[in-house]
Structure 1
């Protein structure tokens, strides 16, 4: 929100704080404030903001006055220990709700909260005064049976109360069954919530039940409706002569896909040639034309929008589109004709796109390559691999050259690259984790990343300047307050940042990450830097991507697994065919805000489910290593203890009660845990040996103690 708006907000509020002020309707306030017709929408926004902040309230007669109590509306976030927080839109810090003031609110309720006066800089507390609505309708948990009734212990730790189940509504569940429960009553301070079992997922000891429980818990749609499957079968026809009509024939172009070994939905192919005469590379990014098979507002399209994205769990993929399309006709499989949308770019030796074309095409992929094979060729000079793909080796070398230039350009402008190790969890046939290892990026993964980023930026810039309705991937600048808090913290380690008073430039954060590389505090500062930034989302306005330091950015390259890409392909094709008339423009202007909101929401849902499954499998893995010792790095710290991350990315906690040699206290300013008698200090980034005390798969916790 800009400074002018905030100043006008202060003026409006000070008017209502005047002892001579009498409650007025908006029309009367406008007259008093000398608001002209054009400024009326801003006045309405100011009044809405003040209401949301709990500073003003509306009387029964529709008049505005200063609130007698600071009442706001927000989303309640529960905690397993009984307390909670209320997230209020537009407010930077959540309101803490002590257990005695929760007043029956449960996780994800929309509530009214009375904000209590602040206490010496501590987090503001509040009291839930009214539950407006319940978002949570169904919940997953473990069934336990008594003689005449049952109850369910929820998997979601933020839902802190057991659910009473009348025996006649238990669907025959027995002890240890994972069940999906529909809530029929939300209970009160004195009465438990009540529900009925609507699905028995499986027994906790059955392979796969644990992951299915997460799937149902996040309301991820598993099965496709029959109508959708039938439609997918009908449209998944081989590419015909009629399909090729009006398309640019690129089948003579050498195109490869480069993906992981187990990938089946191949939605991007690349081609690179060096033009010696003109001194630039011809880079082609060829993306599956999913819109040819998924027509707008068809059963397939509505189901794809509902899902929003494919979800990648350790033992399965829940696809956005049925396998007939995602792994079949839409997948750019080797040696078969496929319909595509190609972004053909000419890139000079400075890495600048000097010209580009976006065309409907027909392609035929020459080779299905893997990241491992390409890395062997380029990094290891593996003779066997180079012999096997000898006709492609020159192209891979050109790819490596071009990608390096593109990466250097992004770095120069300030693009931020967080180098967190992702984990790869390997399961046996029973679904048990047998190995966890960091999944590091290699030269091949970087090449594909660089080319996809360039295509995404090129397409976004093209459509921004055409001033057509579009869906962008945006990442807002961090709040200056958060960056200043980060600056104050890193000063403890001798680091600083420049020019952060108004709005930080991404290059400052990039420089910080470069300075801390390979230092003991790298993990800590990287995480805190990431937390200081906002979450990327889909929007209809092109406001830029802070993390990439890009003015224009969209998601164009993955329409098999992401709905926003599919949506913009539809717009691009209508534009290429000259069909984007006034009526169609108005249509997209109407639907795109809803698409942006839905796909941002489903993306967060998928991320949460993927993280939860990873965490659960890591805990299960450590259950078989109780008593063993490992070396790790202190990666986080609070008043309860500190977290230690092992080389395989598993993280557990050393609780203060398990630091046996002294009484330890936490210094919030320096992120240190110090012993009162021994003077011993534990710091962020410090290497320690730990012993595994316990691992609780249900609670998703791993407990360490300091081990020799």
Structure 2
């Protein structure tokens, strides 16, 4: 083989051995893992021999290969404690059986190093199962640094009850190839259990028998046929099934929603503060149907009176009822490119609870008096009735503010309920202009205390009528979005402060301070771009992050550093104990403004209304203390699940879109680097990967200290934030991976 091919193969071997799960292997084991056929083993030996000569790897006395230079002095303190020396052959441990993306299997044992599991020792375990593992090789032989190896002797809990995959039909039986590539075994399906599924259809199979290790695969029954992948909506339906979302509501839940939606509210209106004469509007996306917030604004004698009016869902959904239990279980609405899985049936979410224009609606309002500095000087939280005058879109409001002196607005919306024509009404124009001024004032006040604003582009996926992707672009966040964001933030923070001082049971939205180790890593990373943040031993103030974001604004490094900063943050969550919100630099914060699509908002509405009407008795206080912990933790978990599913659907659609653009050329920027290659982000928000072997006619390596990819001979350097022209080389919808190659290069053929 020529020198370039030899270099490429050496890189493949080194990347393989650098995997955290790799254990020293013999030549035949390496060949098996890399799918190298028997006639080419001689070439593999040549590559290994070359790496040994270069002292990149070592050939151990037992015939196994390992990376050179991995000694005890190189591992950190945590690794010294949790190493294979803690294991002895014959010992048994409980743990979680996990399969990595490259097919390695291991068992995670609490407070110990992972135990490697070879193919013949996996028993009936599938990814995620709880198992008992017996140590068969402690990895403590003299001169050995291999991981402990074990054998799964028992599966104590199978977590994969159902598997989604592609049905393959034979004459007398069929089998399901799992979508999840970490499920290493196909599911055998007898003909009588196939539900007459056709070849190459997407199915959901229930596992009836997990098999007996090597002797047979799991056996199952086809429970549902989702359809051919080419059929509209089957792709997203598959994701819905994988994440366990319900497709629809049960009949009894729909019936309950129908009864509630027909409820007469005329008597309830008489009990509330009547704000129907106040000029109130909704501002949302053109296609939004679950309108849970409306706003009003008046200005008098230097004081702004901002009204944030939220749909009073709790009037219709009583605690402990069918609708409440269903909403609590769902936790949140989930938004996919082609559909929404709502928290409530449409009769509520789009009907009686939605703040549709020109209808009397029950609301819970937070009315705030704000001075010229942007400070909330007084407020009132009360039960109200409103009548929205105009249903506006973000695009409409943006164009109105951008073209204040023009007579017409160019709106592309097709929704007749959304205001699309210029309104000559002076009161209306003044309202929108005043909202803009107040939003900027609140934003300035928030930034002064150190609040962080990540302006990372979101993906907007536009579909054809058949469900295929027509276009993917960055969603344009405008000043109209900022108006609503600032008003909702002000209301959420005001409500949280009041109920903190009332010392009542409540649900807060908490965002913890980042780990200092993460901040030190961030500091080292941004230093490569000439930026810095001030860190102390125990604390990082959000204002330092804000200063950094201001410095990088408009630079080539903005997107890369913003992503790194965001990944360094902890995830916000719900909890009953009050805590700071680091990202907003807020002492107290909650979610009050979206009870149609978030369950915690509905729960605190109940507490607020009960307190307004008659106060919270000791008995009710105990009741709330008993249930709120579960509501907070469950809602946090459901939010994470929804976010994961939404991201997965976006990645799938991106792969689908790029499959039709193989060979097309795009401009992008290098957005990430690993030892395996580089990530490149395109202007339309799609991100792909360039393998090290495909970068060019040189041996490239990743310099983790300087965050650079460097050519060994040419010394050519690729840096994060660099512009690069790429060609789409491939896209795999199953793995959600998009492959790029640099423009002008050819993709190397690899096994």
What is the TM-score normalised by the length of structure 2?
0.80
The residue number in structure 2 matching 1:13 is none
Q: What is the aligned counterpart of 2:666 among 630, 637, 649?
A: 630
Residue 138 (str. 1) matches residue 159 (str. 2)? no
Deviations 1:38-57 (A, max 9, x none): xxxxxxxxxxxxxxx999xx
The residue number in structure 1 matching 2:118 is 100
> How far, CA to CA, are the matches of 1:449 and 1:72 in structure 2?
50
The residue number in structure 1 matching 2:496 is 460
Deviations 1:412-454 (A, max 9, x none): 1111111110011111111110111100210110000000011
Deviation at 1:460, TM superposition (A): 0.8
Q: Specify whether residues 226 and 372 from structure 1 end up closer, same or farther in structure 2 by C-alpha distance, changes over 3 A only.
A: same
Q: Specify whether residues 555 and 95 from structure 1 end up closer, same or farther in structure 2 by C-alpha distance, changes over 3 A only.
A: farther
Q: What is the aligned counterpart of 1:183 among 200, 207, 219?
A: 207
Deviation at 1:67, TM superposition (A): 10
Q: What is the aligned counterpart of 2:303 among 280, 293, 303?
A: 280
Q: Specify whether residues 349 and 206 from structure 1 end up closer, same or farther in structure 2 by C-alpha distance, changes over 3 A only.
A: same
> How far, CA to CA, are the matches of 2:131 and 2:539 in structure 1?
33
> How far, CA to CA, are the matches of 2:558 and 2:147 in structure 1?
31
- Report if aligned partners of 2:580, 2:588 keep a CA contact under 8 Å in 1: yes
> How far, CA to CA, are the matches of 1:395 and 1:566 in structure 2?
29
Deviation at 1:74, TM superposition (A): 6.4
Q: Specify whether residues 438 and 469 from structure 1 end up closer, same or farther in structure 2 by C-alpha distance, changes over 3 A only.
A: same
Deviation at 1:472, TM superposition (A): 1.0
Deviations 1:88-115 (A, max 9, x none): 89x9xx9656453984543333457899
Deviations 1:191-215 (A, max 9, x none): 4333221111111121111111011
The residue number in structure 2 matching 1:220 is 245
Q: Secondary structure at the match of 2:197?
A: coil
Deviations 1:63-92 (A, max 9, x none): xxx999999876555433223677889x9x
> How far, CA to CA, are the matches of 1:352 and 1:674 in structure 2?
52
> How far, CA to CA, are the matches of 2:568 and 2:232 in structure 1?
39
Q: Secondary structure at the match of 2:656?
A: helix
> How far, CA to CA, are the matches of 2:709 and 2:114 in structure 1?
25
Matches within 5 A, 1:200-279: 200-237=225-262, 239-276=264-301, 279=302
The residue number in structure 2 matching 1:79 is 100
State the Cα RMSD in Å. Answer: 2.8
Q: Specify whether residues 195 and 384 from structure 1 end up closer, same or farther in structure 2 by C-alpha distance, changes over 3 A only.
A: same
Q: What is the aligned counterpart of 1:507 among 522, 530, 543?
A: 543
Deviation at 1:580, TM superposition (A): 1.9
The residue number in structure 1 matching 2:402 is 379
Deviation at 1:389, TM superposition (A): 5.2
Q: Specify whether residues 238 and 587 from structure 1 end up closer, same or farther in structure 2 by C-alpha distance, changes over 3 A only.
A: closer
> How far, CA to CA, are the matches of 1:399 and 1:205 in structure 2?
47
Deviation at 1:132, TM superposition (A): 4.3
The residue number in structure 2 matching 1:587 is 623
The residue number in structure 2 matching 1:471 is 507
> How far, CA to CA, are the matches of 2:458 and 2:146 in structure 1?
33
Deviation at 1:681, TM superposition (A): 1.6
Q: Specify whether residues 193 and 415 from structure 1 end up closer, same or farther in structure 2 by C-alpha distance, changes over 3 A only.
A: farther
Q: Specify whether residues 86 and 313 from structure 1 end up closer, same or farther in structure 2 by C-alpha distance, changes over 3 A only.
A: farther
The residue number in structure 2 matching 1:59 is none
Structure 2 residues without counterparts, runs of 5 or longer: 1-79, 410-420, 745-751
- Report if aligned partners of 1:79, 1:160 keep a CA contact under 8 Å in 2: no
Q: Specify whether residues 314 and 86 from structure 1 end up closer, same or farther in structure 2 by C-alpha distance, changes over 3 A only.
A: farther
> How far, CA to CA, are the matches of 1:325 and 1:88 in structure 2?
47
Matches within 5 A, 1:335-484: 335-381=358-404, 382-385=406-409, 387-388=422-423, 390=425, 391-484=427-520
Structure 1 residues without counterparts, runs of 5 or longer: 1-52, 56-65
Deviations 1:541-560 (A, max 9, x none): 11121111111111100000
Q: Specify whether residues 186 and 539 from structure 1 end up closer, same or farther in structure 2 by C-alpha distance, changes over 3 A only.
A: farther
- Report if aligned partners of 1:653, 1:703 keep a CA contact under 8 Å in 2: yes
Q: Secondary structure at the match of 1:601?
A: helix
> How far, CA to CA, are the matches of 2:149 and 2:531 in structure 1?
37
Q: Secondary structure at the match of 2:528?
A: helix
Q: Specify whether residues 435 and 454 from structure 1 end up closer, same or farther in structure 2 by C-alpha distance, changes over 3 A only.
A: same
The residue number in structure 1 matching 2:574 is 538
Q: Specify whether residues 558 and 142 from structure 1 end up closer, same or farther in structure 2 by C-alpha distance, changes over 3 A only.
A: same
Q: Secondary structure at the match of 2:309?
A: strand
Deviation at 1:486, TM superposition (A): 1.7
Q: What is the aligned counterpart of 1:166 among 184, 190, 205?
A: 190
> How far, CA to CA, are the matches of 1:627 and 1:372 in structure 2?
35
Matches within 5 A, 1:26-65: none
> How far, CA to CA, are the matches of 1:576 and 1:54 in structure 2?
56
Q: Secondary structure at the match of 1:649?
A: coil
> How far, CA to CA, are the matches of 2:109 and 2:542 in structure 1?
27
Deviations 1:502-530 (A, max 9, x none): 12111112222222223333222222221
> How far, CA to CA, are the matches of 1:280 and 1:232 in structure 2?
42
Deviation at 1:383, TM superposition (A): 2.7
Radius of gyration: which is bigger? 2
> How far, CA to CA, are the matches of 2:717 and 2:360 in structure 1?
64
Deviations 1:306-330 (A, max 9, x none): 1111111111111110001100000
> How far, CA to CA, are the matches of 2:532 and 2:622 in structure 1?
49
For these two proteins, the number of residue pairs brought into alignment is 638
What is the TM-score normalised by the length of structure 1?
0.85
Q: What is the aligned counterpart of 1:196 among 214, 218, 221?
A: 221
Matches within 5 A, 1:594-605: 594-605=630-641
> How far, CA to CA, are the matches of 1:568 and 1:664 in structure 2?
55
> How far, CA to CA, are the matches of 2:351 and 2:424 in structure 1?
25
Residue 523 (str. 1) matches residue 559 (str. 2)? yes
Structure 1, 222-231 or 123-132: larger mean CA deviation: 123-132
> How far, CA to CA, are the matches of 1:393 and 1:521 in structure 2?
39
Q: What is the aligned counterpart of 1:322 among 326, 345, 349?
A: 345
> How far, CA to CA, are the matches of 1:206 and 1:274 in structure 2?
54
> How far, CA to CA, are the matches of 1:71 and 1:403 in structure 2?
61
- Report if aligned partners of 1:308, 1:602 keep a CA contact under 8 Å in 2: yes
Q: Specify whether residues 123 and 310 from structure 1 end up closer, same or farther in structure 2 by C-alpha distance, changes over 3 A only.
A: farther
- Report if aligned partners of 2:292, 2:595 keep a CA contact under 8 Å in 1: yes
